[in-house]
Structures are given as structure tokens and as C-alpha cells.
């Protein structure tokens, strides 16, 4: 992943100085086949330029692109979370989990009703008996789970 990003950065860095200027970004976007350059490209670059020196170095480029991928992954997880959050209140209850996992084969895989309760307990870090999005994301990323739960 980072190797691909480095190759992208190097291809954009026309003069090889390790810095991307607004002009290099415009030319790179044009070469990649983008017909319309975003009118706010200068503003985007200023936002990415964390040290304010007017150019994007490799570290800033990496931080911005990896951060964007993180947002995209979180968007996919949010869509999955909403499948379980049937009433849309931002939390997954035991009943909602049972309804979504109501298929007998699925319930058997998680150990029936007791398995669903154990699953919630292992993910529910604040102890309110429900899974909020932050807890759901921690589970999806494999952070802070008990040893008995398989992560995605």
C-alpha cells in the first residue's frame, strides 16, 4: 500500500526535489486523465500542507492519503453498522443483533442466544448492554477484544 503511494508521489514530483507544488499536482492530475481540475485544489493543498511551507512533502502526502483511506473504511463500517442498528438510534441492542442474526444457521455459529450475549459483552466496553459505533469500529479493527472473539 505504502509502496504504491510512494510511486504515486514520485510520479507527481516532476523535478525530483521531494516536494509537490500546486503546478506539479495540476500536471499530475491532467496526466492521469482527469479532465477537470478541482477548482479548490489550492485549498486542498493548503489543508494537506501541515507545516505551511506552500508545498507537499512525502510525509504530508502519506498522511493525507492514508487518512482518506481510513475515512473510506470507516464509511463501509458505518454502512454495516446501520444494518444491525434497526431502530437507527446509534446503538446495536441484543434484540437487534438477534433479529439480524435470526437465521438459525447464523445463530448456531455464534452459539445461540448465549453466544449473542457473550458477543455483546466482549464488544460492549462501556457496559451499557449495547454496541455503539465506536465499539463496533474497535471490533472491526480488532482493538480491545477478548481472546474468545474472532475479528473481521
| CA proximity to 45, closest of 63, 22, 65, 67 | 22
**Length of the chain in residues, anyone?**
152
Q: Average per-residue pLDDT in the chain?
A: 80
pLDDT, tens digit (0-9, with 9 covering 90-100), for 54-103: 999 988 888 887 766 666 577 778 888 888 888 989 999 988 888 887 65
Bridge pairing between strands 131-132 and 91-92: antiparallel
The pTM for the full model equals: 0.48
Share of the chain above pLDDT 70, in %: 80
**Three-state SS string across the chain, please?**
CHHHHHHHHHHHCCCCCCEECHHHHHHHHHHCCCCCCCCCHHHHHHHHCCCCCCCEEHHHHHHHHHHHHHHHHHHHHHHHHHHHCCCCCCEECHHHHHHHCCCHHHHHHHCHHHHHHHHHHHHCCCCCCCEEHHHHHHHHHCCCCCCCCCCC
Amino acid at each position: 500500500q505504502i509502496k504504491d503511494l510512494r510511486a504515486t508521489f514520485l510520479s507527481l514530483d516532476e523535478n525530483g526535489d521531494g516536494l509537490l507544488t500546486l503546478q506539479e499536482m495540476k500536471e499530475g492530475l491532467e496526466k492521469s486523465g482527469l479532465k477537470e481540475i478541482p477548482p479548490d485544489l489550492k485549498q486542498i493543498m493548503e489543508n494537506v500542507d501541515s507545516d505551511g511551507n506552500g508545498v507537499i512533502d512525502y510525509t504530508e502526502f502519506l498522511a493525507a492519503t492514508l487518512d482518506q483511506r481510513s475515512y473510506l473504511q470507516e464509511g463501509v463500517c458505518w454502512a454495516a453498522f446501520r444494518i444491525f442498528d434497526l431502530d437507527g438510534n446509534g446503538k446495536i441492542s441484543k434484540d437487534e443483533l438477534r433479529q439480524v442474526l435470526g437465521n438459525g444457521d447464523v445463530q448456531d455459529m455464534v452459539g445461540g442466544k448465549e453466544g449473542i450475549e457473550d458477543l455483546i459483552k466482549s464488544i460492549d466496553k462501556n457496559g451499557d448492554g449495547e454496541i455503539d459505533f465506536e465499539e463496533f469500529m474497535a471490533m472491526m479493527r480488532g482493538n480491545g477484544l477478548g481472546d474468545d472473539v474472532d475479528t473481521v
